[in-house]
Amino acid sequence: MSGITLQQLAEMVGGQVVGDAQTTVFEALPLQDAANDCLTLIDGAQNVSRVNASQAVAVVTTEAYPQCDKPMLVVTDLHASFAQISQIFRPPQALPASGVDVSASVDSSARIGQGVSIGPGVTIGADCHVGEGCVLHSGVHLLAGCRLGSDCTLFPNVTLYDNTQLGDRVIVHAGCVLGAFGFGYQQRDGFHVRGAQLGWVQVEDDCEIGANTTIDRGTYGKTRIGRGTKIDNLVQIGHNCHIGQHNIICAQVGIAGSSSTDDHVVLAGQVGVVDHTHVGARVRVGAQAGIMRDVEPDQTVFGSPAIPRK
């Protein structure tokens, strides 16, 4: 990539140059990665000294800091502008083309919408419906009876067990497993005998599910992930759980069977929730906390067993 002057960038993304507008930059990188000839960004005066000491030749900010040694491109929306500039230097990779790869196996009873992209090695079982505009990357496997709304993206090696249901615009990251058997057994003569596995997983519109996360099917009905909820990597959600809308569930959280959350709950990393427990609306739970009983709405709780913040 040849270089671009600050003046040119200001014209492309909007903003004012303070300092030498002919300064030429060849890459856009965050401060911790800043290398020779790059543009970087800071979101406050406390980082000016790090910029001055860095190899960056210019900086994007929302304010002209007098103590800053480098030319500044002053913009209104720091992250929108820096994202736009980053993509000038590193254009996004093309999305997979629509169509069905020759190596995919699509059951003849499956219904595939307009403009769907089905990658190499994908398998789609009997009676699946895949809505328009979905992208199924290589190695995705849909067992029989799955239903996907429109514009979902499934990254490589995702597995949906039979009858999994996704709404519209759901993103499922690589390696996720939705709909595996719940972990429920009855003891019989010292043996553990598996209970019924007749339910399914239902993920509502606009959810995003992180890499290698697992969500088990319900016993007779659904395990539900409410609209707009975002789930990070390596999370476990047990059978029959009902997760509310617009939750934030961070990495490595585990929620045991038949528990539920109301809307706008935030669970930090490695939180555990025992089975048959309810977490009220807008509750915030600190990292590594253990929820051992119901939590009333609007609380912030910490520790294991979790208690409200003093």
Q: Which two tokens stand for residue 68?
A: 């800053």
State the Cα–Cα distance between residues 261 and 229, nearest whole angstrom: 11
53 binds its own copies (CB under 8 A): no
- Residue type present at position 222: K
Footprint of its own copies on 91-130 (CB under 8 A): 92-94, 101, 103, 105, 119-121, 123, 125-127
Q: Which residues pair with 160 in a beta bridge?
A: 142, 178
- Map residue 25 onto helix, strand or coil: strand
From the list 259, 270, 263, the residue with the least C-alpha distance to 292 is 259
131 binds its own copies (CB under 8 A): no
154 binds its own copies (CB under 8 A): no
Among the listed residues 65, 72, 141, 152, the single contact to its own copies using CB under 8 A: 141
State the Cα–Cα distance between residues 265 and 243, nearest whole angstrom: 9
Q: Which is nearer to its own copies, 63 or 208 (CB)?
A: 208
Asked if residue 264 lies in contact with residue 246, where contact means CB atoms within 8 angstroms, the answer is yes
Phi, psi at 272, each rounded to 5°: -120, 145
From the list 207, 295, 286, 195, the residue with the least C-alpha distance to 238 is 195
212 binds its own copies (CB under 8 A): yes
Q: Which stretch binds its own copies (CB under 8 A): 8-16, 48-56, 64-72, 220-228?
A: 220-228
Query: So which residues are the catalytic ones?
Result: 239
295 binds its own copies (CB under 8 A): no
Binding mask 269-288 for its own copies (x = CB under 8 A): xx-x-x------------xx
Supply the minimum distance, in Å, between the C-beta of residue 135 and its own copies.
Answer: 12
Q: Which is nearer to its own copies, 8 or 288 (CB)?
A: 288
